[in-house]
Amino acid sequence: MIRISDVHHQIDGQPILRGIELDIPQGGVTALIGPNGAGKSTLLSLVARLAPIQRGRITVAGHEVGRVRDRDLARVLAIMPQAQHVATRLRVEELVGFGRYPWHRGRPGPADRAMVEAALERFDLRALRSRFLDEISGGQRQRALVAMAYAQDTPVLLLDEPLNNLDIAAARGLMALLRDMAERDGKTILIVLHDINVATAYADRLVVMREGRIAAEGPPGEVVTEALLREVFGTEAGIARIEGRPFVIV
Amino acid sequence: MARRLAILGAVLALAAAGYMLIGARGNWGFVLPFRAAKLAALLLVGAGLAVATVMFQTITANRILTPSLMGYDALYVLVLTALVHGLGASGYAALPPALLFALNLAAMSALGLLLFALLARLARGDLVRLVLTGIVLGLLIRAGTTFLQRMIDPSAFQMVQGISYARFTQVEPSLLGLAALAILPALALAWTLRHRLDVISLGRDAAAGLGEPPARLERAALALICVLVAAATALVGPLASGSLGPTSFFGLIAAAFAHAITPHARHAVLMPCAALTGALILVGGQTLMERVLALATPLTVVIEFVGGVTFLILLLKRRSA
């Protein structure tokens, strides 16, 4: 579904990504993990064309990211950027409605309104629909943003550290929703996470990055080892197994 | 929401009727067309500057920024001073008003685009840097203007001073059509951007993710902002209380009141609301100043005072948010 070939990227002359090769299959949750500065968010922004691709090639659902029309890319890929700040005062339902923009370009029809209703229902936002974003909690706001991405109705969803500033219950609730979207709707979800235990608990695949390169990739049970933690994160940690999934104990 | 817009429109119509009719005596065949020309100028300038400010605030994601604050009004005085300096007072006075208007419009639009492109390059998306760079560039333009004014003779300097203020009481009727030809199409084009402006208000990355790359929209919006402000300023002069005085807060007041009147962030509501509010401030204010207070003080001074207070309130609200 997402193919990344020989992608290099520099910012102010500093190499951030060094020859990334990665194939992300259709369906399921893939978590990008790694220490700060590993290049996770940069890679995500290149896949979503938030930054120009300097070298290499990325395709999403058969569309070459560097060449596809903006509107067409937005119909196959939705992104929830890091620390999204909405400058205007919006109600929850208005925000979710923006997810339909790539389809209606400002003139919503019955199908668009139905999709917004479905998103509000799916993400349990009906009671909050008329509330302004600055009147709801951080967890509810993140849920509304995911509902907006859901309303965009794309096969691929990218999320950059969506759990920042969320308490444990809100983080768990959000990850369960994403897991559900992957299982019930067959969405391909690529998510940048900091918490390795959240990644191992909810992702089907892990992609571990270090210094702009892929250090390891595969199912969490195979990828997360004490040697990898030592090599990539520079820390000694034990690993327990809970229901077959690794759990890192520092 | 339509009700609020209708009420605003009705109040504007009342203010316009007041401006046309209060104290109208003598030859109505002269009075009405004379006042109608000034009223048309007030409506064009009010709507144009207010919509330009709303667009500017949306693309900069900042509710206290205005084109004036970024030094755009100062360009007008620089262009005028340069013309007077180059042609001399008599040469300048001999220029046909239409040519002067066209020169001002072209120079301000071109310089404005250059100014904003330079700002965008220097600031590279950093808002604080954008504001500071804009203010510094505004100071630079004003300093350049002062330098030129020092080099012209006193009579020419007096002329520059006279034309460096907004003049709603002396509108050249022949320029109205030209200004309308620039402002009305620009307003119509701004209206076509309303949905895209809604999307960019979500943030640059979110807009790009929704298939609306911000850079393209920003270029289109900035071009329209330059034309709107340039045409309004070329018609009546800068809405500042002096060439070296504080920058005009008119756009800030109009946009802030529009946001207060409508809880909707949608530009399909916000832009007409701002246009009506901007026109109402100028028409209502000028009616009061001209007809009730007998021109005891210029409207621009009151706008600066109210604008300053509004600016402080917006700043304090941001701090407490």
**Which pLDDT tens digit goes with each residue over B231-261?**
998 888 776 544 433 346 888 888 988 988 8
Give the C-alpha separation, B236 to B76, whole Å. Answer: 11
Amino acid code (one letter) for A8: H
**Which pLDDT tens digit goes with each residue over B9-34?**
999 999 999 989 888 777 777 888 88
Q: Is A67 on the interface with B (CB under 8 A)?
A: no
Q: Is A215 on the interface with B (CB under 8 A)?
A: no
**Which pLDDT tens digit goes with each residue over B270-293?**
999 999 999 999 998 888 888 777
Give the C-alpha separation, B262 to A3, whole Å. Answer: 46
The continuous run of DSSP H or E covering A84 comes out as: none
Report CB contact under 8 Å: A86, B209: no
B207 CB-side CA count, 13 A: 23
pLDDT given at position A250: 76
Residue of A nearest to B213 (CA): A70
Q: Is A19 on the interface with B (CB under 8 A)?
A: no
State how beta strands A77-80 and A156-160 pair.
parallel
Give the C-alpha separation, A203 to A167, whole Å. Answer: 19
In the structure, what pLDDT confidence band is assigned to residue B74 with cuts at 50, 70 and 90?
confident
Question: Mean pLDDT across chain B, nearest whole number?
Answer: 83
- For residue A84 the two structure tokens come to 């999204």
What pTM, to 2 d.p., does this model score?
Answer: 0.85
Q: Is residue A141 part of a domain?
A: yes
In the structure, what pLDDT confidence band is assigned to residue B123 with cuts at 50, 70 and 90?
low
Chain B residues with CB under 8 Å of A48 CB are: 208-209
CATH code for the domain of A152: 3.40.50.300
pLDDT given at position A22: 94
Report CB contact under 8 Å: B62, A48: no
Nearest to A36 by CA among A240, A192, A185, A218: A192
Beta strands of A82-237 (E only): which ranges? Answer: 156-160, 188-192, 205-210, 213-218
Q: How many residues does chain B have?
A: 321
In the structure, what pLDDT confidence band is assigned to residue B153 with cuts at 50, 70 and 90?
confident
A191 has which bridge partners?
A31, A159
A250-to-A194, A233, B2, B123 alpha-carbon distances in Å: 15, 12, 60, 43
Amino acid code (one letter) for B245: G
Give the C-alpha separation, A201 to A172, whole Å. Answer: 10
pLDDT given at position B240: 57
B175-to-B31, B60, B169, B179 alpha-carbon distances in Å: 19, 32, 14, 6
Q: What is the CATH number of domain B2-11+30-316?
A: 1.10.3470.10
Number of domains in chain A: 1
In the structure, what pLDDT confidence band is assigned to residue B114 with cuts at 50, 70 and 90?
confident
User: Is the pLDDT reported for residue B321 higher than 50?
Assistant: no
- For residue B202 the two structure tokens come to 């979500």
A112-to-A106, A107, A118, A236 alpha-carbon distances in Å: 11, 9, 10, 51
Q: ipTM for the complex?
A: 0.87
- For residue A65 the two structure tokens come to 């990211």
- For residue B49 the two structure tokens come to 């500057």
pLDDT given at position B134: 75
Minimal CA separation from B266 to chain A, in Å: 9
Nearest to A34 by CA among A238, A195, A226, A242: A195
Backbone torsions φ then ψ of A129, nearest 5 degrees: -55, -35
User: Is the pLDDT reported for residue B53 higher than 70?
Assistant: yes
Per the structure, the complete domain to which residue A85 belongs is given by 2-219
Chain A residues with CB under 8 Å of B263 CB are: 89
In the structure, what pLDDT confidence band is assigned to residue B295 with cuts at 50, 70 and 90?
low
Give the C-alpha separation, B78 to B61, whole Å. Answer: 28
Per-residue pLDDT tens digits of chain A, which is 250 residues long: 899 999 999 998 899 999 999 999 999 999 999 998 899 999 999 999 999 999 999 999 999 998 999 999 999 999 988 766 666 678 999 999 999 999 999 899 999 999 999 999 999 899 999 998 888 888 888 889 999 999 999 999 999 988 887 888 888 999 999 999 999 999 999 999 989 999 999 999 999 999 999 999 999 989 988 888 888 888 888 888 888 788 888 7
3-state class (DSSP) for residue B70: coil
Q: Tell me which of B256 and B313 has the higher pLDDT.
A: B256
Residue of B nearest to A78 (CA): B209
Q: Is A106 on the interface with B (CB under 8 A)?
A: yes
B275: left (phi over 0), alpha (psi -120 to 50) or beta: alpha
**Which pLDDT tens digit goes with each residue over B167-202?**
777 777 788 899 999 999 999 999 999 999 999 988
Give the C-alpha separation, B110 to A124, whole Å. Answer: 51
Q: How many residues does chain A have?
A: 250
For an interface test with A, give the residue of B195, B202, B259 to mutate (most A CBs within 10 A): B202
pLDDT given at position B78: 86
User: To which residue do tokens 């399909």 refer?
Assistant: B268
Chain A residues with CB under 8 Å of B217 CB are: none
Q: Is residue A234 part of a domain?
A: no
3-state class (DSSP) for residue A169: helix
Mean pLDDT of B227-232: 90
Count contacts between A and B (CB, < 8 Å). Answer: 75
